[in-house]
Structure 1
């Protein structure tokens, strides 16, 4: 609510000035009183917490972080951490805590250094400390989360513990190691932010900072008694991706499917190895063999297909499967929605002028490319929301100088449009070449510069198209409608369909084909002498 109050301040001030300039003093006084109440309640922390009571119950601590809303609740003696409405940690989840810690660490004889990526609150670090290791690096993205966890005693200070507030993927890429074990405790790869921790590139980075006999552990949600075809496909994709860099990959069926990845030997007799080390547990020692049965291990082994393709940063095949699982779970499908969009687009294109189609394709390519840059930036640098404003600004900033440059030319010849269209096509081809053959991490400046240059040529086309149509035919409305419709379609198709389901490369290919079609129309019209 505080953010809402601050961002509304300028709008409220403008309303005040309008009432005063028109001598509407009664409305002015009314708005002053109304705005005072609005600001009073918006800045009142108790009022904001009161609005959350029905959702969360008894709230112990509440704070807004740049990475989401953090709420800590208490029911009886149990504390639960919530992040952006999703439960992040609970004190009673001892099963998951023991599984994620002891399944990998029990495999090792000499443990020196452990890297924990997320999930380090409460019992997790206590369970890790049972191995008497030298040091633990706990990487958590949100500094607000670790700070409040320390204040409430869910992270105990220790000489061997180092808490690092950073993106886990970037930390692993730049770390020197070597680590005896890497434990990744993150949700399934249902977003680009999370998919980065289940790709070939990530597993390669992990292998580089592990000791020769080190181990990597992570988990995926699954049904222990029945695996659907989509669930089998998800497990197979991640299994085959990990097998690229680890000789042995063991999947243990616990509360989740736990992947143990190691070049050395792996054993499924976890309680025996823990007993040999003298480590006591609450769940594993008494219930492991009853839940992790030979039948379940064999079933999950048979469900993994070695023919499945791997998961990469630019081709998120696991994310595609999870999207399909979501639609099956909710008994719905995007087919009817996409069919409606296709019919609407077809009808719109049928009645469009050729010049308007150029702007339609440009608006589509501009917003589609903006989606490409946003997702690619996230792949490389991780959390995007603190930087997305700069990306959007770069794409908007180039439109004005582009339009001014387009106005400098007074010619009605076709080559203003075709030249700018060819430049946009070249920029898309350059992006495709980088994503396909290099994909090397670039400085953020290059992404911002690319957005500015691309939008410059998009802005250049608008005045060129209106000059060709002619003022007598009132081109502004049709051109603006074509540009905005193309932009909406580009955002929808690229951001919600092509990139998540088919990957970055196929999304770029789609945009390239769209601009090729506009170039063909320009060349065809030129040959008929329409603009000469």
Structure 2
């Protein structure tokens, strides 16, 4: 998952598309296995599947990295949704189908060992969840801090290879066992020994048109430094962070902000510290102190090796490392000017720097006559409907907190806000006068540049394209509207039908989504009844919970990202906490399912509990804002969701296996439904529901869907002709 995020620039859509592809192919594999292999399962078949997994792990990593070259995705280019889907579904297909085969085969083998006990699926499900949970914890504590992605994948490959050999030894008497073992280990050692060279070759292949100086994997992403002539550009996860020297960008960021203030003395820079902004700020004679906040401490040291010693005045510059929002919230310092030097909010992670909640924190750190500055991608002379709505949302959101807000035109629209009226100006004559008074020696931001950039016609045109949006379009932490608008702008560069889909979804309200999903579940229920599928209510329950559980996982990851700035380094830990909860819930469900009686009633109770859990989560988030949440709440919250999902799946399987004696058929049916629901959840939640409705309304939608499934189960209990059939 981390590799895919890195390949597609940290975009949350990439997570949803990747998980959707993973779940689709795994569900297909688990459903097809009993239909492809009619013969009884064997250890030799299972060992072959383990060998295939060992082979496909490194192959999949290579395919993901090579995909950007095959699909002609250049460094710094944000690919379209279609490209993401192609890469995800093509690269993950072999690995996930084999994984689905393996699950069903394991269920059949253990069923034979246990004399076809109905607890088989539950035991395999518990073991799978325990393995995933342990894998997440080990990866977080040991693998990610010390090993590269290729080393981690090779270790996983080795584990599966050894597992396959052990199974083969147990089942086979072939004289080729030992040569095969030696050959496999030699091949693995060769790959492990030369993996740094292989990784370097991959990097040079991707950056082949640029001079790649170095790469580094940090806790926050993948860094790369490339050289073009005399300029060095730093990329993070494939997107440019800054270029040095780049006086045009540095001057336009710093001087428009500082010229708005009559006497700037104390400055705060958020992001882009090494892009030349500090040097430009000290050109203003009144500036005596600069604080700068950077997220990744390793990035500064890594970049300094190539840009040389930074000529900053001693004792006047203080660099702080960590989440900028947390630092601003906790510091007691106040500033004349705060400059946000972040990219346009093309992800939900970046969106947290453009919300009402962040602006409120910024205002508390400004002097009474201070100002706040940021800029986003725009258009100098032609602002279309989507761009107009995007800029208007940012303007209205900023106006919720600051009394005075002005916008300055350009290829990047500049937003300047002040706590008091009458502090700001867009008059080029006043700004030009301050340039002369301060004797600024700049290359680009000079009198003629400002007079052209802020001409009356350009200012009036920009003003005509800005309007106040309604309250529901205000950008907030838990409802990232600006991120949605940026998605709309992003789709304008690709297929028009994708843009039309996003525009269509954007106009929909919560009730529209609810009716749509209730309708889908209703259609599935009617189809199941018409096809005479037994216990359609339980099938629908498993499908609904699969949809809900993956959405819960994605929502908690997004909440962590909103609260702490990045989920990149905590991703494995959060997934591990979810899988640990899943294992505990599965173990609890297995214990109750083994008692046979009242399994169905307990299934009803868990279905209701899941709906209650979602509603309580909404209440919790309304009471405790993102700024007040402790890190420990996240593994607890996501783990509790996993517990309920694991218990529900095992209880449903326990009931099903008493009615359908075929382990393979029961396994393929319910596991496939669970994964199909999860696949739909990843795609709908990340692409449509979360961007349009926000976190709180998404949780309420999921809660009602689960109460709908609960009512169907209750109806089955109340209106079945022979209630005793539900108790056995």
- Superimposed CA distance per residue, residues 155-186 of structure 1 (whole angstroms, 9 cap, x where no aligned partner): 43432111112111221122222111110011
State the 1:67 CA deviation: 1.9
Question: 1 or 2, which has the higher helix percentage?
Answer: 2
Change (3 A) 1:199 1:16: closer
Q: 1:70 maps to what in 2?
A: 223
Q: 2:496 maps to what in 1?
A: 332
Change (3 A) 1:336 1:104: closer
Q: 1:464 maps to what in 2?
A: 651
Q: 1:8 maps to what in 2?
A: 154
State the 1:224 CA deviation: 0.7
Please point out which of 465, 483, 492 is paired with 1:303. 465
State the 1:131 CA deviation: 2.2
Q: 1:385 maps to what in 2?
A: 568
Q: 1:35 maps to what in 2?
A: 188
Please point out which of 557, 560, 583 is paired with 1:374. 557
Change (3 A) 1:408 1:16: closer
- Comparing 345-354 and 494-503, the one that deviates more: 345-354
1:267 maps to 2:267:
no
- Contact 1:225-1:296 within 8 A present in 2 as well: yes
What residue ranges of structure 1 are gaps of 5+ in the alignment? Answer: none
- Superimposed CA distance per residue, residues 376-420 of structure 1 (whole angstroms, 9 cap, x where no aligned partner): 111111111111212111211122222222233321464211211
Change (3 A) 1:509 1:110: same
- Superimposed CA distance per residue, residues 44-77 of structure 1 (whole angstroms, 9 cap, x where no aligned partner): 3884476346445222333222222222222222
1:159 maps to 2:159:
no
- Contact 2:268-2:339 within 8 A present in 1 as well: yes
- Contact 1:366-1:458 within 8 A present in 2 as well: yes
Q: 1:494 maps to what in 2?
A: 685
- Comparing 14-23 and 458-467, the one that deviates more: 14-23
State the 1:347 CA deviation: 6.7
Change (3 A) 1:19 1:318: closer
Measured in 2, the distance between the counterparts of 1:19 and 1:521 equals 47
Change (3 A) 1:186 1:418: same
Please point out which of 120, 138, 146 is paired with 2:273. 120
SS in 2 for 1:44: helix
Change (3 A) 1:424 1:64: same
Measured in 2, the distance between the counterparts of 1:508 and 1:6 equals 35
Measured in 1, the distance between the counterparts of 2:675 and 2:157 equals 25
Measured in 1, the distance between the counterparts of 2:451 and 2:358 equals 32
- Comparing 301-310 and 42-51, the one that deviates more: 42-51
For 1:336-375, list aligned pairs within 5 A: 349=525, 350-351=527-528, 353-375=536-558
- Contact 1:320-1:502 within 8 A present in 2 as well: no
State the 1:485 CA deviation: 1.6
- Contact 1:310-1:317 within 8 A present in 2 as well: yes
Change (3 A) 1:10 1:519: closer
Please point out which of 109, 126, 135 is paired with 2:289. 135
1:418 maps to 2:574:
no
Report the aligned-residue RMSD.
2.7
- Contact 1:414-1:531 within 8 A present in 2 as well: no
State the 1:140 CA deviation: 1.2
SS in 2 for 1:138: strand
- Contact 2:282-2:288 within 8 A present in 1 as well: no
State the 1:92 CA deviation: 5.1
- Contact 2:524-2:540 within 8 A present in 1 as well: no
Please point out which of 410, 435, 439 is paired with 2:621. 435
Measured in 2, the distance between the counterparts of 1:59 and 1:479 equals 49
Change (3 A) 1:405 1:167: same
Measured in 1, the distance between the counterparts of 2:193 and 2:154 equals 13
Q: 2:107 maps to what in 1?
A: none
Q: 1:150 maps to what in 2?
A: 304
Please point out which of 503, 506, 526 is paired with 2:694. 503
- Comparing 127-136 and 383-392, the one that deviates more: 127-136
SS in 1 for 2:492: helix
- Contact 2:154-2:188 within 8 A present in 1 as well: no
SS in 2 for 1:516: helix
- Comparing 105-114 and 390-399, the one that deviates more: 105-114
1:446 maps to 2:633:
yes
- Contact 1:140-1:166 within 8 A present in 2 as well: yes
SS in 1 for 2:260: coil
Measured in 1, the distance between the counterparts of 2:398 and 2:686 equals 28
Measured in 1, the distance between the counterparts of 2:404 and 2:651 equals 61
- Comparing 4-13 and 185-194, the one that deviates more: 4-13
Q: TM-score, normalised by structure 1?
A: 0.92
Change (3 A) 1:445 1:56: farther
- Contact 1:67-1:142 within 8 A present in 2 as well: yes
SS in 1 for 2:497: coil
Measured in 1, the distance between the counterparts of 2:201 and 2:521 equals 43
1:406 maps to 2:559:
no
State the 1:87 CA deviation: 2.0
